Amino acid sequence: MQRRTLIKNLGGLALIPAFSFKNLPNDKKPVLRVAHLTDVHLKDKFDAPARFAKCLHHVQQQPGVDLILNGGDIVFDMNKENIDTINTQWKLWHDLIKSDCSLPMHYVLGNHDIWWNEDDKTQTLYGKEYSMGQLQLSTTYHSFTKNGWKFILLDSVHLDFDNTWYIGKLGDVQLAWLENELKSTPADMPVCVLSHIPILSATLMVDDNDTGTNKWEITGGEMHTDVNKIVSLFYKYPNVKLCLSGHIHLRDKVVYNNVTYICNGAVSGAWWEGNKRETAPGYGLIDFYADGTFDEHYINY
């Protein structure tokens, strides 16, 4: 569907207060506006298809959105499902994107986009192969440039040490690739990084510590276990400005060594059953400027 026709047909959906750039000098206008949608967890239940369509319509009514960054957990869950259920969830995704979204979308994979079922390890599409095929991804991590910004999309989900579940990390090969990407990027080109699992987040401390100890426990599947290596690498490249993630379904913002880490809430909220704690279902809206600065908002659609 053509975007102009789509917007015309959306009717009277309410907008957040619109940003107006028409009267601003060029150096004060954003060069790019991006919507960050993560943790959709789409399935044919809880009225999720209609509610996700509403979210897509809301995004496309915001003035001047250029593209969508999809932070993963696209379908509800592939981990222990049979192939028929997986096929059904992905067909629903493609049908909705075709009918209700005219914006380009760039993806990273979430932990729920991976086929973990031990009984299916011999299948050709086991692991990440199925979702890579659905999204036409040749690699699970890549980069692109748009309007003077570089976007680096990471693969943050890998098998844990015992090969039974997942852990947040890059691994040696991807970490070396990331360093090379930053080395080859002009020093005056700002960088935005997208991952599914947060590289660094405060959301994991929002939990009652009532276990009778004076310690919080953060598991390797909740935040990058190689966070120290990554933040040390970013420290060498001050053009890294923003890191976006999801996974936790909670919203926070952490600034560390002049890099802003934003964990945005989920499009699905608490998996389509209301808010996740105090974070309502929503998406991020980010305006990028030529000087490497940005404005960001969390939108409850």
pTM of the model: 0.90
CATH of the domain at 114: 3.60.21.10
Predicted confidence (pLDDT) per residue in 123-133, tens digit: 777 789 999 99
- Mean pLDDT is lowest, of 86-95, 210-219, 260-269, for 210-219
Residue 18 has pLDDT above 80, yes or no: no
Assign 6 a pLDDT band (cuts: 50, 70, 90): very low
Does any domain span residue 209?
no
Residue 1 has pLDDT above 70, yes or no: no
pLDDT at 209: 66
pLDDT at 119: 64
Does any domain span residue 1?
no
Structure letter (DSSP) for residue 158: E
Domain holding 50, by residue range, is 32-204+217-299
Does any domain span residue 12?
no
DSSP for 15-30, written as a single string = -PPPP--TTS-GGGS-
Does any domain span residue 21?
no
pLDDT at 213: 75
Mean pLDDT of the chain: 90
pLDDT at 9: 42
Does any domain span residue 291?
yes
Higher pLDDT: 227 or 19? It is 227
Predicted confidence (pLDDT) per residue in 30-40, tens digit: 999 999 999 99
Sign, Cα dihedral of 131, 195, 151, 230: negative
Does any domain span residue 62?
yes
For residues 141-148, give the mean pLDDT: 98
For residues 272-298, give the mean pLDDT: 97
Assign 12 a pLDDT band (cuts: 50, 70, 90): very low
Does any domain span residue 122?
yes
Dist. CA 77–CA 117, nearest whole Å:
11
Q: How many domains does the chain have?
A: 1
pLDDT at 217: 83
pLDDT at 90: 97
Does any domain span residue 27?
no
Dist. CA 296–CA 135, nearest whole Å:
27
Distances (CA, A) of 180 to 28, 51, 175, 183, 250: 31, 40, 9, 5, 32
